[in-house]
A and B are shown apart, each in its own frame.
Chain A
């Protein structure tokens, strides 16, 4: 599936939730369930420091596609990371670099990607796109 197809799919899924509690319960479940990154990558080099929560991000190229793994010390942040990975992982570097992420806004989680929130997610999205650019070359 393309990046936008996945985004639309997530938007449809979230449309089924009645209120913010259900949305957050789902995000929290995502945050709890996924093993998101190898322990060897949870180091200073892969760390994106937010004031509130921290994010670790690793990317590699596999069969011409970017594979992202990531983690956070906060569960809600981690749940949103799981969604970002679902959208951007296993795509071509070119598509990652050019991606327009509109789903976060549409599923009512915009505030988590606000620069003032300082949870590491804004920098993480930037970093993911930079990886896309960097991995185009080789």
Chain B
């Protein structure tokens, strides 16, 4: 990748985009904020904030219940947002889009419902060594309950999945593969299409954690042929507390419901309840209506900028960041995958990430430090954690320059 100065090659009007995000003009510790923690949660454009506010001011009523006009309008707005999600990930149909609280709940739903139906003693669930705790613990819980085993496909020193090892581990005991699309700690983009083809050749379904992929690249669940795909609204410039689980209809129909309650039933008697059709079967209770509408607005915003333009701009930002950070003596990058999203994890000499993060905070620079909820991955690299800078399309060359200056200053103080 040639590290040209991003703004000169970008089709995006970054100045305009930054004005859409009110938070980016605030200060932190008395300095204009440099926000480099979008992988943890991204900031929100005005259009999202306004959509939520508009909904509460003019549209709110419970959905799918009232015969009156207002409830119909709320229901329409809610279902229009579901269609937007369907288009965003190119799902075949809207009933395959389940609203959940986020990736964590999406994975718990599948682990619990798929696991209850299809896992038995001695079976295996295959994950990778770079998973977020959200894609480890739910599987451990169901495996423990069922007497099944969690298997972990290894990675190489660059932080890439070793595909041949992964393929070898697809034994006839494996009932499901659960993998991240993009590593939140390393930025590694996994070869989902190849992984799915390998798993499907053995008749094994695949769940993909799309938390870190959806903010950065166009997703087509049909082209990837994944069985489940989940992502969080708050990482794609939408509200917190809302997320999406896509599941192929055949799997969603075969699985028992997750939560029981209103909305998810067809008929209830004390003897026997029959369940509603998809997607309602998995959406018990009053949903996060405002969150869904806010998410719809966020997806509109992203689509308007265009994911291909976003990927291209972020790639140049990433290359520029790596090039500039290499100026720091003693810097060591954790994760050097050939195929990488805009996440840079690093350490400098033996400086503790907490110390580096503390000084950067004082300089107005927000980065993440620690193990990023990927403790087994940190153990693999024998490090306590990293400093992670992650970029979104609203970040600039100047942000990276301030990061590099900040790191140099912190190293001078700490080294």
**Once the chains are docked, how many angstroms separate the CA of A55 from the CA of B122?**
40
Contact between chains at B413 and A53 (CB < 8 Å):
no
> Interface stretch among B92-100, B329-337, B355-363?
B355-363
Contact between chains at B352 and A73 (CB < 8 Å):
yes
Contact between chains at A74 and B370 (CB < 8 Å):
no
Set of chain A residues within 8 Å of B353, measured between Cβ atoms = 52
Contact between chains at A24 and B352 (CB < 8 Å):
no
Interface size on B, residues (CB 8 A): 17
Contact with B along A29-72 (1 / 0, CB 8 A): 00000000000000000000001111000000000000000000
Set of chain B residues within 8 Å of A53, measured between Cβ atoms = 352, 354, 384
Contact between chains at A20 and B362 (CB < 8 Å):
yes
Partner of B371, one of A24, A25, A51: A51
**Once the chains are docked, how many angstroms separate the CA of A75 from the CA of B359?**
12
Contact between chains at A77 and B362 (CB < 8 Å):
no
- Residue A124 interfacial (CB < 8 Å): no
Set of chain A residues within 8 Å of B358, measured between Cβ atoms = 24, 76, 112
List 30 A-B pairs, Cβ < 8 Å: A20-B29, A20-B362, A21-B362, A24-B358, A24-B359, A25-B413, A28-B355, A28-B413, A51-B371, A52-B353, A52-B357, A52-B370, A52-B385, A53-B352, A53-B384, A54-B384, A73-B352, A74-B352, A74-B354, A74-B355, A75-B351, A75-B352, A75-B355, A75-B414, A76-B354, A76-B355, A77-B354, A77-B355, A112-B358, A119-B354
Interface residues of A (CB under 8 A from B): 20-21, 24-25, 28, 51-54, 73-77, 112, 119
Set of chain A residues within 8 Å of B385, measured between Cβ atoms = 52
Set of chain A residues within 8 Å of B384, measured between Cβ atoms = 53-54, 73
**Once the chains are docked, how many angstroms separate the CA of A28 from the CA of B353?**
14
- Please give 10 more A-B residue pairs, beta carbons under 8 A apart, in addition to A25-B413, A51-B370, A54-B384: A21-B362, A24-B413, A28-B413, A73-B352, A74-B354, A75-B352, A75-B414, A76-B358, A77-B354, A119-B354
Set of chain B residues within 8 Å of A24, measured between Cβ atoms = 358-359, 362, 413
> A52 and B369 in contact (CB under 8 A), knowing A24-B362, A73-B352, A119-B354?
yes
**Once the chains are docked, how many angstroms separate the CA of A28 from the CA of B370?**
19
**Once the chains are docked, how many angstroms separate the CA of A118 from the CA of B414?**
21
Set of chain B residues within 8 Å of A51, measured between Cβ atoms = 370-371
Partner of B414, one of A21, A28, A54, A112: A28
- Shortest Cβ gap from A124 to chain B (Å): 14
Q: B188-209: which residues lie under 8 A (CB-CB) from chain A?
A: none
- Shortest Cβ gap from A54 to chain B (Å): 8
The residue of chain B having its C-beta at the shortest distance from the C-beta of A31 within the complex is B355
**Once the chains are docked, how many angstroms separate the CA of A54 from the CA of B362?**
21
Q: Would you list the 7 A-B pairs with minimal beta carbon distance, nearest first? A: A74-B352, A74-B354, A53-B354, A52-B354, A76-B355, A75-B355, A52-B370
Q: B363-387: which residues lie under 8 A (CB-CB) from chain A?
A: 369-371, 384-385
